[in-house]
Amino acid sequence: MRTFGCFLAHGRRLYGEVIGEEVHVCAKPYWLGIEPTGEVCSVGELEVDVPVAPSKLIAVGLNYADHIAEMKRTPLGTPLIWFKAPTSLLAHDRSIEIAIPEHQTDFEVELAVVIGRAGKNVRAADAAAHIFGYTVGEDISDRDLQKSEKQFARCKSFDTYTPIGPFIHTDVDVADVPITLRQNGEIRQQARTSQMIYSVPEIIAFASESLTLLAGDVILTGTPSGVGPIRSGDEIVAQIDNWPPLRNRVCNSR
Topology annotation, domain 57-252:
Fumarylacetoacetate hydrolase; domain 2 (3.90.850)
Closest CA to 248 of 91, 132, 143: 91
Radius of gyration of the chain, Cα coordinates, nearest whole angstrom:
17
Interior/surface letters 75-106, b for 16+ CB within 10 angstroms, e for the rest: eeeebbbeebebebbbbbebebbbbeeebbbb
The per-residue pLDDT string of the chain (254 residues; one tens digit each, 9 = 90 and over) reads 999 999 999 889 999 999 999 999 999 999 999 999 999 999 999 999 999 999 999 999 999 999 999 988 888 899 999 999 999 999 999 999 999 999 999 999 999 999 999 999 999 999 999 999 999 999 999 999 999 998 899 999 999 999 999 999 999 999 999 999 999 999 999 999 999 999 999 999 999 999 999 999 999 999 999 999 999 999 999 999 999 999 999 999 97
Segments making up each domain of the chain, as ranges: 2-48, 57-252
Domain with residues 2-48, CATH architecture = Roll (2.30)
